Amino acid sequence: MIIVLMGAPGAGKGTQADLLSERAGYRKISTGDALRKHVKLGTQVGKQAGEIMARGELVPDNVLLQVLKEELGSNPKEIVILDGYPRNLAQAETLKEVVEGVHPVVCCAHLDVRRDDIIARLSGRRTCSGCGASFHVSANPPKKQGVCDKCGSNLIQRPDDDAKSIAVRLDVYDKATEPVLDYYRKRNLYNRVNGGGQTDQIFGDLKGVINSCLK
């Protein structure tokens, strides 16, 4: 069974998906992580994706879907948190066709966060240049300013984490994903979760929504 976890950049999808995996035992699948894994392992679909990425092109939907199919496997009882997919209506429709009967989508959980809060979150985000760990200048600062707690590498601000770039990213996200949310609303799978609170509170609300969907 698949739980589609949606939310704008900075809404906290990755954090909540990790918590659902750690605390509830659900399996998290991030299409971005899965794509990089297959490229590194040199699988057939990984080689195909690697060639596309090497040309500086976006990996097309059919290749992303093949990566997802490889990751899902054939265990229909497994509860999967799908983070980062679908990103558009075409992906949502194709996902339904591919997983129907084996891994049905039983819930779309939407972490809804105010735009101003997202901009504040992302503009204060700092990412480790070594291991990729994420920190925040006020909400989750490192023990030593500018240095990663986990590996000791320098923390950097991503170029697309300035306020103007964030606004553009949010506009792009809204345009692409609002039809996806409508798609799941029409199928009575949509569930809004307030993503503006504390991490544990959000987790509790999200877990409650998922439990209701699984009954």
CATH number of 80's domain: 3.40.50.300
Number of folded domains that form the chain? 1
**Catalytic residue (one of 13, 28, 126, 207):** 13
Instruction: Name the catalytic one among 114, 144, 158, 175.
Output: 158
For residue 71, being part of any structural domain is answered with: yes
Q: What is the pLDDT of residue 4?
A: 96
Identify whether 78 is part of a domain.
Answer: yes
Kindly name the residue from 27, 87, 115, 185 that is annotated as catalytic.
87
Kindly state whether residue 37 falls inside one of the protein's structural domains: yes
Q: Is the pLDDT of residue 201 over 90?
A: yes
The domain in which residue 74 lies consists of: 2-114+177-214
pLDDT tens for each residue of 135-189: 989 888 999 999 999 999 999 988 878 888 889 989 999 999 999 999 999 999 9
* Strands 27-30 and 80-83, sheet pairing: parallel
Q: Is residue 93 included in any domain, yes or no?
A: yes
121, part of any domain: no
Examine the residue annotation and report whether 55 is marked as an active-site residue of this protein.
Answer: no
In this structure, of 6-10, 30-34, 176-180, the range with the lowest mean pLDDT score is 30-34
Q: How far apart are CA 26 and CA 181, in angstroms?
A: 23
Q: Which whole number is the average pLDDT over 39-63? A: 86
Determine whether 121 is an active site residue. Answer: no
Give me the helices (H) in 55-198, please: 61-72, 89-99, 115-123, 163-186
The answer to whether residue 120 sits within a structural domain is no
Tokens of 16: 């909540």
User: Would you say residue 20 has pLDDT above 80?
Assistant: yes
Distance CA 138, CA 28 (A): 28
82 burial type by CB count under 10 A (0-12 exposed, 13-18 middle, 19+ buried): buried
CA atoms of 98 and 105, how far apart (whole Å): 11
Annotated catalytic residue 158: yes
Q: Which of 121, 125, 126, 207 is catalytic?
A: 125
Highest mean pLDDT (candidates 37-41, 91-95, 207-211): 207-211
Structure confidence at residue 10 (pLDDT): 87
In a domain, 147, yes or no: no
- Judge whether residue 100 has pLDDT over 80: no
The pTM (predicted TM-score) of the whole model is 0.83
How far from 85 is each of 23, 125, 146, 167, 187, CA to CA, in Å?
22, 23, 32, 21, 17
